[in-house]
Amino acid sequence: MISFTINDREVTGQEGWTILEVAKWHGIDIPTLCYHGAVEPYGACRLCVVEVDDGQQRRLVASCLHPVQEGLKVQTDSERVKNVRRWILQMMVDEHPGSQRIKELAKSYGVKESRFKSDRVEDLCILCGLCVRACDEVVGARAISLGNRGVRKEVATTHRLPSPECVACGTCLYVCPTGAMEQLFDRIRG
Amino acid sequence: MSVSFEKIEAILDRFPPQPEHLVSAFQEIQAEFKYIPADAFNAVCDHLGVPRSQGWAVATFFKSFSFEPKGIHEIKVCLGTACHLKGGARLVEGLERELKVERGHTTGDLLFTLDTVNCVGACALAPVVVVGEEYQANTNSRKLKKHLKKVAAE
Amino acid sequence: MRQISTALKLDENRLASPAALAAYRESILAERDPNRPIIIVCHGTGCLATNSPKVADTLRRAIAAAGLQAQVVPEIKTTGCHGFCSRGPLVIFHPTGLFYQRVQPEDVEEIVQTTLLEGKPVERLLYVDPNTGEHIVHDHDIPFYKYQQRLVLRNIGKIDPADIRDTIAAGGYQSLAKVLAGMTPEEVIAVVETSGLRGRGGGGFLAGRKWRLAVENVRKSPGPVYVVGNGDEGDPGAFMDRTLMEGDPHAVLEGMIIGAYALGAQQGYIYVRLEYPLAVRHLSVAIEQARALGLLGQNILGTGFDFDIKINRGAGAFVCGEETALIASLEGRVGEPKTRPPYPAEKGLWNRPTIINNVETWGNVPQIIEKGADWFAGMGVPHSTGTKIFSLVGKVNNVGLVEVPMGITLGRIVEEIGGGVPGRDEFKAVQTGGPSGGCIPWELKDTPVDFDSLTRVGSMMGSGGMIVMDKRDCMVDVAKYFLEFLMDESCGKCVPCRMGLERMHAMLGEFTMGKGSLEDLDELHSLAEGIKDGSLCALGGTAPNPVLSTIRYFRDEYEAHILHKTCPGKVCRELITYAINSELCNGCTLCARECPAGAITGVKKKPHEINSSLCIKCGVCFEVCKPEAVEIL
Ligand SMILES: Cc1cc2nc3c(=O)[nH]c(=O)nc-3n(C[C@H](O)[C@H](O)[C@H](O)COP(=O)(O)O)c2cc1C
Ligand code: SF4
Ligand code: FES
Ligand code: FES
Ligand code: FES
């Protein structure tokens, strides 16, 4: 057993657990978007960041990936953490104004749309990669992947053609946090 | 360059069937055909035992792979820091006007592909443009225009 | 490649023990006449681009035709980059050190006549000090070289990188022999540790500590381990690693073989940037020749130690220089970084302990073994020992590659070695640390160039890029430029980097158009902090640095754009206009003919005019005007 603190509260977790898992266990809420218990954590949305102090350094880490450590001091809502979350949600709500889930999350952090708001309401994909991981790890079909890079990154099929590997099981529809897959699905399945 | 299965096979023969050779195999395909033809893409993935979706992620991630044929002469305008300060951006714009093609694209006659690159390591000679294998050092729009005329005539 | 080693009879000379190397070296030296003159024609990338192969060819033919007496026929040697490419092609005469610059094939005849036959220098090919107007005859008297301390670069420019015998004659692989003849892995690591060698690739982590961590991890979990040379050199405006790999590939190999011995690795990889084909060629030749001599491969120097190196070429992604992304790419996966821990020293290539060091870091290892940890630690300053290679480029008189002891001041590098800014202005800023470094203003020119001092002033050492900017550069534009670069190179996995850099770029774009407000500067600051804190890897984690450092030191320029709608550097398009000074214009009509927008009118021999409503501000007129009559207002 490993003991450490979350928001000054003593908690314990097993070796190899992540901070997020221990926090959930103890009913401490940390927001997430690219995390799902059924697949490997990926660390992309960064909404789950927390501030950790290991006695040498204070820094922000993704709680969905960071292993628990003896004596670690974790803060889930420090000013630095809030600044990161607010900016993530600010940019998401501007880029994907059509997503209800994002809108609600943003609202809970007091974030409103800004002058950079996009007019493409149909653009819902936040590239969390859950569909890709579910298709690979849960279904084993490997019909889709995250293609390209940077601002051009996208959920894609090979050659952007309907995927012969797709078994139309709909698992991706189920894990997608924003509803983006509803639009993509027909193009993937062909 | 025609896409023949013999050529693809010959390239695949050089690689044992392990996923670690994916990038190297794509590089050879790209060098041979100046792009990655769909058949070659599939053959590489299948030969190395890489799921095609993962192959697609890798091939689209890297800037040097393309799925459309590139021109006979590849022009790479350096936009690294040294070249930026010495007007690299103006050079690309000039070439875009001259060749009537946007960066990242190929002229209709398949003669030139206009690309940008972030430093070719010849920064002491900025601004630098690489045409094919040849470095144009301390260049400017006028010198480039002349050089491209010469290259096109060859 | 096989042919080269066969031609050099390397296979026949396969070295069966560490002592055999010394004997082989003796035999090479004995074959060489120390008094034979050598003419070196630089064949680095820079000089190749400015015609050096033709110079060498013409020289060879002219010498053969000149009928010189046998004992004075010089040997012509082609070498790697001398670091002074802005003056290339370079031709240097040994043993005197007579130094010719910007030599073209047309000059060869005069060189043979005047220098070889009459023994006099060709005045017009000498280097002229831009500050004093003095002609300088010998390389060691040129300020650019005089103040340098070339240790990692010691062989470059002297040896032919395609001939391992040159390297061996210069003392190459002696450290490897020393290690294999009588040092334990533990002793090797201890030497590297006490030398204080820090990584030259950006992070500045202590090399010895990294090695020790890896060794401890191997002990905990026995099995295969790997060493990797990072030659991805992604920082734009930097060419240290390229020069090293092209000019002295064996230094990198030797360092890696020593590292492999310390770790117990049997396989190594060198990851070379896509844009460096010559480096790949020279490394491949070097590997082939080292194998033929028994310095690499099975049973190295007859000691039973096996280790081999494979070269992987990059495919055009800056982020693949990041160690976890590099490893992913070596495994054939997408070059996306992963969260650390675990660090590569624990779980690297194929989840096994892996030492990954920059190629310049590896290049330091042989001389540390040879001359000792104390010798190395005695150079530089505490916590930043040894020398560092910098690529000094931009608005500076002597553009090139310089190696100096750590701790020398920024001002000395730019003023003494670089000869200052053209036009005798002061520099405005020096950008160090690559795209995610910072801009250091003239006022801080006395900052010592070492890891910690650079971080203290808001920049960083990075891999050694040093870009000099003068009053004609706009700091807002520079910040925007770096963001553009990083946006283009972000892998796009994590949100703060993918979306945050785009947002910062959009805000800077507004400034360069004279839009935005001072409150936006604060917003930008808070976003920058969010990106630094929230990003997954150091690309996003350091990307805001150019923005933060320019706001810190050049706030007045941001305010000029935002409040006064002017660009002090006269760079930002929306805030400048082109005009022709009628007193300087001689009516040559060149600009009118070149202007792609047809915005310039005028009659021959009469001052021309620019119609600003048609002008697209491409700057062609400014570039072509001989009497410099085009002004930017
Ligand atoms: C975005 C990014 C790009 C990098 N590019 C390079 C590079 O081109 N060359 C390099 O040696 N290190 C690069 N690094 C640093 C490597 O991650 C790693 O720290 C280094 O190779 C370790 O070697 P060293 O300790 O000898 O410097 C980069 C890091 C980041 C975050
Ligand atoms: S910080 Fe940038 S480069 Fe690094 S993982 Fe995130 S998106 Fe990729
Ligand atoms: S939930 Fe941890 S990064 Fe997305
Ligand atoms: S910046 Fe253009 S070659 Fe390096
Ligand atoms: S290439 Fe000759 S000096 Fe650099």
Sequence-distant (6+) residues with CB within 8 A of C543 are C435, C436, C482, C483, C486, C490, C497, C501, C531, C535
Give the pLDDT of residue C71. Answer: 67
State chain A's mean pLDDT as an integer: 95
A146 interaction partners in chain B (CB closer than 8 Å): 57
Q: What are phi and psi of B75, to 5 degrees?
A: -100, 125
Please work out whether the CB of residue C493 comes within 6 Å of at least one atom of ligand 2: yes
H helix intervals, A12-146? 19-25, 79-95, 100-108, 130-133
For residue C535, give the nearest of C574, C499, C587, C578 by alpha carbon.
C499
Please write the tens of the pLDDT for every residue from C238-273. Answer: 999 999 999 999 999 999 999 999 999 999 999 999
Q: How far is B116 from chain A (nearest CA, A)?
A: 17
Residue B37 belongs to some domain of the structure: yes
Confidence band, pLDDT 50/70/90 cuts, at residue A77: very high
SS3 content of chain A, % helix, strand, coil (to 5): 35, 15, 50
Give the pLDDT of residue C3. Answer: 56
Q: Which of A145, A152, A154 is the best mutation test for B, with the most CBs of B within 10 A?
A: A145
Q: What is the mean pLDDT of residues C14-31?
A: 94
Residue B68 belongs to some domain of the structure: no
Q: What is the spatial distance between Cα C579 and Cα C633, in angstroms, rounded to a whole number?
A: 7
CB contact under 8 Å between C274 and B64, yes or no, is yes
3-state SS class at C106:
helix
User: Is B91 found in the same domain as B19?
Assistant: no
Give the pLDDT of residue C5. Answer: 63
Residue B22 belongs to some domain of the structure: yes
Give the pLDDT of residue C488. Answer: 92
Q: What is the spatial distance between Cα A18 and Cα A60, in angstroms, rounded to a whole number?
A: 14
As a three-state string, the secondary structure of C263-332 is HCCCEEEEEECCCCHHHHHHHHHHHHHHHHCCCCEEEECCCCEEEEEEEEECCCCHHHHCHHHHHHHHCC
User: Is B44 found in the same domain as B81?
Assistant: no
Closest ligand relative to A62 C-alpha = 3
| Contact indicator for B137, C50 with CB cutoff of 8 Å | yes
User: Is B52 found in the same domain as B84?
Assistant: no
H helix intervals, C40-104? 45-49, 52-66
The CATH number given to whatever domain includes residue B88 is 3.40.30.10
Q: How far is B59 from chain A (nearest CA, A)?
A: 8
Rounded to the nearest whole angstrom, what is the distance from the C-alpha of residue C314 to the centroid of ligand 3?
A: 29
Number of domains in chain B: 2
For residue C276, give the nearest of C249, C257, C250, C307 by alpha carbon.
C249
| Contact indicator for C355, C197 with CB cutoff of 8 Å | no
User: Is B123 found in the same domain as B79?
Assistant: yes
3-state SS class at B27:
helix
For residue C510, give the nearest of C565, C552, C470, C461 by alpha carbon.
C565
User: Is B81 found in the same domain as B149?
Assistant: yes
Q: How far is B55 from chain A (nearest CA, A)?
A: 8
A142 interaction partners in chain B (CB closer than 8 Å): 51, 53-54
Q: Is the pLDDT of residue A43 over 70?
A: yes
Give the pLDDT of residue C130. Answer: 86
- Residue A8 structure tokens: 């000054």
| Contact indicator for C620, B94 with CB cutoff of 8 Å | yes
Please work out whether the CB of residue B82 comes within 6 Å of at least one atom of ligand 4: yes
Sequence-distant (6+) residues with CB within 8 A of C337 are C319, C322, C324, C325, C328, C491, C493, C536, C537, C539
Rounded to the nearest whole angstrom, what is the distance from the C-alpha of residue A63 to the centroid of ligand 3?
A: 7
Please write the tens of the pLDDT for every residue from C491-548. Answer: 999 999 999 999 999 999 999 999 999 999 999 999 999 999 999 999 999 999 999 9
Give the pLDDT of residue B73. Answer: 94
3-state SS class at B95:
helix
Rounded to the nearest whole angstrom, what is the distance from the C-alpha of residue C585 to the centroid of ligand 2?
A: 51
For residue C151, give the nearest of C437, C381, C406 by alpha carbon.
C406
CB contact under 8 Å between C339 and A62, yes or no, is yes
Give the pLDDT of residue C393. Answer: 93
Give the pLDDT of residue C67. Answer: 81
Exposure letters A5-19 (e unless 16+ CB within 10 A, then b)? ebeeeebebeeebbb
Give the pLDDT of residue C12. Answer: 85
User: Is B81 found in the same domain as B107?
Assistant: yes
The protein residue whose alpha carbon is closest to atom 6 in ligand 2 is: C494
Cis peptide before C596 (omega within 30 of 0): no
Instruction: List, in sequence order, every beta strand (DSSP E) within chain A.
Output: 2-6, 9-13, 49-53, 58-62, 73-75, 145-147, 154-156
Q: Is the pLDDT of residue A30 over 80?
A: yes
Please write the tens of the pLDDT for every residue from C111-161. Answer: 999 999 898 999 999 999 988 899 999 999 999 999 999 999 999 999 999
CB contact under 8 Å between A84 and C530, yes or no, is yes
Largest separation between any pair of C-alpha atoms in chain B: 50
- B3 at C interface, C-beta within 8 A: no
As a three-state string, the secondary structure of C518-555 is HHHHHHHHHHHHHHHHHCCCHHHHHCCHHHHHHHHHCH
ipTM beyond 0.90? yes
- A179 at B interface, C-beta within 8 A: no
Residue B43 belongs to some domain of the structure: yes
User: Is B77 found in the same domain as B55?
Assistant: no
Residue B147 belongs to some domain of the structure: yes
A148 interaction partners in chain B (CB closer than 8 Å): 60-61
User: Is B94 found in the same domain as B144?
Assistant: yes
- The ligand 2 atom at the shortest distance from the C-alpha of residue C540 is 1
User: Is B41 found in the same domain as B21?
Assistant: yes
- A142 at B interface, C-beta within 8 A: yes
Residue B11 belongs to some domain of the structure: yes
CB contact under 8 Å between C238 and B123, yes or no, is yes
As a three-state string, the secondary structure of C111-169 is HHHHHHHCCCCCHHHCEECCCCCCEECEHHHCHHHHCCCCCCCCCCCCCCCCCHHHHHH
Q: Is the pLDDT of residue B38 over 90?
A: yes
| Contact indicator for A35, A48 with CB cutoff of 8 Å | yes
Type of residue found at C503: R
Q: What are phi and psi of A123, to 5 degrees?
A: -80, 100
Residue of chain C minimizing CA distance to B130: C49
| Contact indicator for C383, C192 with CB cutoff of 8 Å | no
Q: What is the mean pLDDT of residues A133-155?
A: 96
CB contact under 8 Å between B56 and A156, yes or no, is yes
Domains with residue ranges and CATH for chain C: 37-146 (3.40.30.10), 172-377 (3.40.50.11540), 381-470 (3.10.20.600), 475-563 (1.20.1440.230), 577-632 (3.30.70.20)
Q: What is the mean pLDDT of residues A44-61?
A: 96
Rounded to the nearest whole angstrom, what is the distance from the C-alpha of residue C47 to the centroid of ligand 5?
A: 5
User: Is B140 found in the same domain as B93?
Assistant: yes
The residue ranges of every structural domain in chain A are 2-77, 130-189
Q: What is the spatial distance between Cα C425 and Cα C470, in angstroms, rounded to a whole number?
A: 8
Q: Which of C620, C622, C624, C630 is the best mutation test for B, with the most CBs of B within 10 A?
A: C620
To the nearest whole percent, how much of chain B has pLDDT over 70?
99
Q: What is the mean pLDDT of residues C326-345?
A: 92
Q: Which of B34, B61, B88 is the last residue of a domain?
A: B61
Give the pLDDT of residue C293. Answer: 96
Q: What is the mean pLDDT of residues C352-376?
A: 98
Please write the tens of the pLDDT for every residue from B75-129. Answer: 999 999 999 989 999 999 999 999 999 999 999 999 999 999 999 989 999 999 9
Please work out whether the CB of residue C391 comes within 6 Å of at least one atom of ligand 5: no
Q: What are phi and psi of C91, to 5 degrees?
A: -130, 125
Confidence band, pLDDT 50/70/90 cuts, at residue C6: low
Residue B143 belongs to some domain of the structure: yes
User: Which of C41, C47, C402 is the best mutation target for the ligand 5 pocket, counting ligand atoms within 8 Å of the beta carbon and taking the most?
Assistant: C47
Please write the tens of the pLDDT for every residue from C104-124. Answer: 999 999 999 999 989 899 999
Q: What is the spatial distance between Cα B110 and Cα C536, in angstroms, rounded to a whole number?
A: 41
Q: What is the mean pLDDT of residues A146-152?
A: 95
Type of residue found at C390: F
User: Is B42 found in the same domain as B77?
Assistant: no
Which is more confident, C234 or C173?
C173
For residue B41, give the nearest of A160, C27, A185 by alpha carbon.
A160
Q: What is the spatial distance between Cα C343 and Cα C330, in angstroms, rounded to a whole number?
A: 16
User: Which of C41, C50, C82 is the best mutation target for the ligand 5 pocket, counting ligand atoms within 8 Å of the beta carbon and taking the most?
Assistant: C82
**Beta-strand relationship, C438-441 and C429-432:** antiparallel
Q: Is the pLDDT of residue C1 over 60?
A: no
The contact set of B with A (CB < 8 A) is 38, 41, 51-57, 60-61, 67
H helix intervals, C331-466? 359-371, 373-377, 410-412, 451-456
Domain that holds residue B44: 5-61
State chain C's mean pLDDT as an integer: 94
As a three-state string, the secondary structure of A81-109 is HHHHHHHHHHHHHHHCCCCHHHHHHHHHC
- Select from A142, A146, A148 the Cβ nearest to the Cβ of B51: A142
To the nearest whole percent, how much of chain C has pLDDT over 90?
88
Q: Is the pLDDT of residue C10 over 80?
A: yes
Sequence-distant (6+) residues with CB within 8 A of C32 are C169
Q: Which of C232, C333, C431, C486 is the best mutation test for B, with the most CBs of B within 10 A?
A: C333
CATH 3.10.20.740 for the A2-77 domain, yes or no: yes
Q: Is the pLDDT of residue B1 over 70?
A: no
Q: What is the spatial distance between Cα C340 and Cα C501, in angstroms, rounded to a whole number?
A: 22
- The ligand 5 atom at the shortest distance from the C-alpha of residue C42 is 2
Which subunits have 3 or more CB–CB pairs within 8 Å of chain B? A, C
pTM for the whole structure: 0.93
Sign, CA torsion B29/B34/B37/B41:
positive
Task: Tokens 């802005």: give the residue.
Answer: C86
Residue B97 belongs to some domain of the structure: yes
Q: What are phi and psi of C436, to 5 degrees?
A: -110, 25
A91 interaction partners in chain C (CB closer than 8 Å): 495, 499-500, 503
